[in-house]
Amino acid sequence: SLEDEEIRARAYVKLLNDKIALRNNRETLAAWKYASNITEENLKEQLDVSKESAKETKEDWLETIKFNWRSFGDYDLRRQFEKLSILGKSALPEEKFLKLEKIISDMQTIYSTAKICDHKNKTKCDLVLDPEITDILANSRDPEELKHVWVEWRHKNAPAKELFRDYVKYANEAAVLNNFTSNTGFWLYDYESPTFVQDVESIWEQLKPIYTQLHAYIRTKLRQRYGDIVSEKGPIPAHLLGNMWAQSWSNIADFTLPHPSAKRADITSELLNQGYDALKMFKTAEEFFVSLNLKKMTPEFWERSILVKPNDGRELVCHASAWDFFDKKDFRIKQCTSVNFEDFTTAHHEMGHIQYYLQYSDQPVVYRQGANDGFHEAVGDVMSLSVSSTKHLKRIGLIDANTPDNDAVDLNALFMIGLDKIAFLPFGYLMDKWRWGIFDGNITAEDYNCKWWEYRTSIQGVEPPVDRSEDDFDAAAKYHIVADVPYLRYFVSFVIQFQFHRAACELAGEYDPEDPTKPLHKCDIYHSTKAGESIAKMLQMGSSRPWPDAMEVLTGQRKMDASGLLEYFRPLHKWLEAENKKNGAYIGWESTQKSI
C-alpha cells in the first residue's frame, strides 16, 4: 500500500542522505585539493573522484525514482524525494560528463593562472589578479596604466571562448536530460517561483532611479578628475571605477566623497597600523557572529582553512570561497587575504557561508543548502552592514572614538556603502541575463561579445576604454563565467540582505521607522542575541521549506522587495538628486561611441 511504501521510503531516504554525505565529502576533499594546488595530478584525481561519484549518484537515482513519491502524503518526504530526483550533470553519459568537468576546470585554470606585464616595466610579466592587478585597479589614478591592465587581463582570458562554447553545449544537454528546456531552467529551479525572473526585473526597475543618480554623480566627479576621456552624457569608461569589472566603486571613494573635508580615517591604514593580519581579521569576524550568540568556527576550520595566499610558488584558485565538507565538523574558507577593508568585508561574507553550514548541519544532506542561493550570499553581508557602520567601527577601535559624528561624516559613510551596494545592482542582474540568453539560444557564439557590451552599456552604463570585437571574449574576465557559478544569487542577496538587516535592527532595538534618531543605516546589531536568535532560526531551516517560509521567520515578509535597500539609502538618494540638479548633471547615458 502507499502507507507501506512511505514507511519504506522514509528509511530509504535516511540511508541515502547519509550515503550522499560520504560521497559529497570525498568529492569536496578532491575539489579542495585541486583548487588549493593546481597540478595535472590533482586535476586527474579530482576528475576520477567526480566520475566515480557521478556513477554512484546515477545508480542511486534509478532507485529513488522507482518510488511513487509524488503521491506521498508527507510533505517533507515528498520534498526530499523531489530534490533527490534531480540528477544534475550526472545525467550526462560518462564521457560527456568528464568533458564538461574538464572544460570547467580548464577555463578556471586559465583565469587563476593568468599573468600580465607591468605597464611601467615591460620586462616584469608576473602580475596576477590577486593581489597585484586588483591593487592597481584599486589604487592607480593613471588612466593609461588602468587601461593597460584592463585590456591585458581580458586579452589573457579571451582563449576561454572556445571552451565556453562547448561548456554551453554540454551544460544544456545535461539540463535537457533533467527535463529542463535549457540550463536557464536548471539554474532557476531552486528559486521555486515561475515568476522569479519577472520579479527580479521589476525590482531592478524600482532600483534603477537610485543607480542612475549615483552613476550621474560619479561621472561628474570622474570628468573633474580625468577630463574628456569621460564624456558628459555617455557611459562611464569601465577602467576608471576602481574594480576590474566595475561592479563595486568603493575604491574611488577618496576623490568622489560628498564631503571631502569630512573624510574619515582610512580603515585600511587603521587595520595596518593596528597590526591586523589575515588571522586577526577572521578572528574579529568570528567574534561578531559569537556576539549574536551564533556559532563559533570549528577547530577543523582554523586548522584547514587557507586564509593567506601560500608563498611556496604553487598555483591556486584565489577567488574567495567557503567550503562545506558535509561531515558536520570540517568547514573551510580559502581566501588570498590582503590586509584591507575590502578583504575584511569579504572575510565576513565568507564566514556568513560557514555560519549557514553550521546552522543547518543537522538537516538531512538534501536540505543543507540556502533557502535559495541568494540567502547564502546574504548572511555575511548582513553582518558587514553592521560592522561597516561608523558606530561599530568606533566600538572596535578602527575609527577613533573622539572623531566628530556629524551629518557630513554620516553621509560620507552611507555613500561608501552605496558605492558597493548600489553600484553592484545592474552588474548582478546582467551577468545571468547574458548567460540565460546564451543557454536559451537567443545569443549565439558570433554575438557573445557584442551582446555582452550591449548589456554592459545599456543596463550598467559602462563602456570599454578601447574598441572591442568578437576576437575578444570579455565576459571570461569574470571568475563566475569561467567557473560555472550562477550569479543571480548576488543580485538577490543585495536586495534581501537589507530586508534581513532591517528586521534584525528592529529586533536589536537599533532601528525604528518612526524614530528619526534611529535610521536604518546607523544600525549596529552587535551583541543583540535577540536578532541572532531569529537569524539562527531562519538559517537552521536550510532548504527544508520554500524560501518565503524562511524569510518570514526573520522578517515577517514572504516577498523579496527593494523597500529595505531604498529605506537604508534614502538620505543618500535625496542628496544625490539635489547634488546632480545643482551640477546640472545629465541623468542617464547615451549609447557608447566605442565600436563594440
Ligand X SMILES: C=C(C[SeH])C(=O)N1CCC[C@H]1C(=O)O
Which entry of Zn ion, ligand X, none binds 592, CB below 5 to 8 A by partner kind? none
CA separation for the pair 114, 122 (Å, rounded): 16
Our CB check for ligand X shows the closer of 183 and 493 to be 493
Closest contact distance (angstroms) between CB of 331 and ligand X is: 14
Which residues have CB under 8 Å from 410's CB, separation 6+? 390, 521, 522, 571
Our CB check for ligand X shows the closer of 213 and 337 to be 337
User: If binding is defined by CB under 5 A, does position 474 make contact with Zn ion?
Assistant: no
Question: Which residue is closest to Zn ion by CB?
Answer: 377
Residue 237: name the closest of 146, 154, 158 by CA: 146
Determine contact, residues 456/430, Cβ cutoff 8 Å.
yes
Cα-to-chain-centroid distance, residue 412: 25
Determine contact, residues 492/377, Cβ cutoff 8 Å.
yes
Closest contact distance (angstroms) between CB of 417 and ligand X is: 14
Closest contact distance (angstroms) between CB of 488 and ligand X is: 12
Distances (CA, A) of 182 to 64, 488, 529: 24, 16, 44
Our CB check for ligand X shows the closer of 365 and 423 to be 423
First to last CA, the chain: 64
Our CB check for ligand X shows the closer of 57 and 346 to be 346
CA separation for the pair 324, 356 (Å, rounded): 10
User: If binding is defined by CB under 5 A, does position 373 make contact with Zn ion?
Assistant: no
Our CB check for Zn ion shows the closer of 489 and 522 to be 489
Sign of the CA dihedral with 565 first, then 567, 571, and 577 last: positive
User: If binding is defined by CB under 6 A, does position 346 make contact with ligand X?
Assistant: yes
Distances (CA, A) of 229 to 69, 317, 464: 62, 35, 11
User: If binding is defined by CB under 6 A, does position 320 make contact with ligand X?
Assistant: yes
236 phi, psi to nearest 5 deg: -85, 130
User: If binding is defined by CB under 6 A, does position 357 make contact with ligand X?
Assistant: no
Closest contact distance (angstroms) between CB of 321 and Zn ion is: 8
Our CB check for Zn ion shows the closer of 67 and 356 to be 356
Which residues have CB under 8 Å from 141's CB, separation 6+? 225, 255
Determine contact, residues 556/491, Cβ cutoff 8 Å.
no
CA separation for the pair 70, 193 (Å, rounded): 19
Closest contact distance (angstroms) between CB of 377 and Zn ion is: 5
595 DSSP 8-state letter: -
Rg (CA), the chain: 24
Which residues have CB under 8 Å from 508's CB, separation 6+? 523, 525, 528, 530, 531
Which entry of Zn ion, ligand X, none binds 321, CB below 5 to 8 A by partner kind? ligand X
User: If binding is defined by CB under 6 A, does position 349 make contact with ligand X?
Assistant: yes
Can you name the residues that pair with 323 across neighbouring β-strands?
332
Closest contact distance (angstroms) between CB of 376 and Zn ion is: 7
DSSP H helical segments within 65-195, as ranges? 75-84, 94-113, 134-139, 143-157, 160-177, 183-188
Our CB check for ligand X shows the closer of 321 and 372 to be 321
Closest contact distance (angstroms) between CB of 164 and Zn ion is: 22
Residues tagged active-site: 350, 480
Residue with cell 545643482: 582
Our CB check for Zn ion shows the closer of 286 and 377 to be 377
Q: Crossing angle, helix 407-439 and helix 160-177, to 10 degrees?
A: 70
Our CB check for ligand X shows the closer of 342 and 506 to be 342
Which entry of Zn ion, ligand X, none binds 168, CB below 5 to 8 A by partner kind? none
User: If binding is defined by CB under 5 A, does position 377 make contact with Zn ion?
Assistant: yes
Our CB check for ligand X shows the closer of 349 and 435 to be 349
Determine contact, residues 89/54, Cβ cutoff 8 Å.
yes
Closest contact distance (angstroms) between CB of 497 and Zn ion is: 11
User: If binding is defined by CB under 6 A, does position 499 make contact with ligand X?
Assistant: no
Closest contact distance (angstroms) between CB of 353 and Zn ion is: 6
User: If binding is defined by CB under 6 A, does position 348 make contact with ligand X?
Assistant: no
Closest contact distance (angstroms) between CB of 565 and ligand X is: 15
Listed ranges 68-76, 361-369, 375-383, 494-502: which one lies at the site for Zn ion (CB under 5 A): 375-383
Closest contact distance (angstroms) between CB of 350 and Zn ion is: 7
CA separation for the pair 352, 355 (Å, rounded): 5
Our CB check for ligand X shows the closer of 377 and 472 to be 377
User: If binding is defined by CB under 6 A, does position 375 make contact with ligand X?
Assistant: no
- Please name the helix (run of DSSP H) or strand (run of DSSP E) that holds residue 24, with its range, or none: helix 2-35
116 phi, psi to nearest 5 deg: -130, 165
Which entry of Zn ion, ligand X, none binds 510, CB below 5 to 8 A by partner kind? none
Q: What is the 3-state secondary structure (H, E, C) of 516-582?
A: CCCCHHHCCCCCCHHHHHHHHHHHHCCCCCCHHHHHHHHHCCCCCCCHHHHHHCHHHHHHHHHHHHH
Determine contact, residues 110/157, Cβ cutoff 8 Å.
yes
- Give me the long-range contacts of 117-125 (CB less than 8 A, separation at least 24): 117/152, 119/144, 119/145, 119/148, 119/149, 120/145
User: If binding is defined by CB under 6 A, does position 490 make contact with ligand X?
Assistant: yes
Label residue 217 exposed, middle or buried (CB < 10 Å: 0-12, 13-18, 19+).
Answer: buried
User: If binding is defined by CB under 6 A, does position 321 make contact with ligand X?
Assistant: yes
User: If binding is defined by CB under 6 A, does position 67 make contact with ligand X?
Assistant: no
Which residues contact Zn ion by CB under 5 A? 377
Summarize as ranges the residues that interact with ligand X (CB under 6 A).
320-321, 346, 349, 490
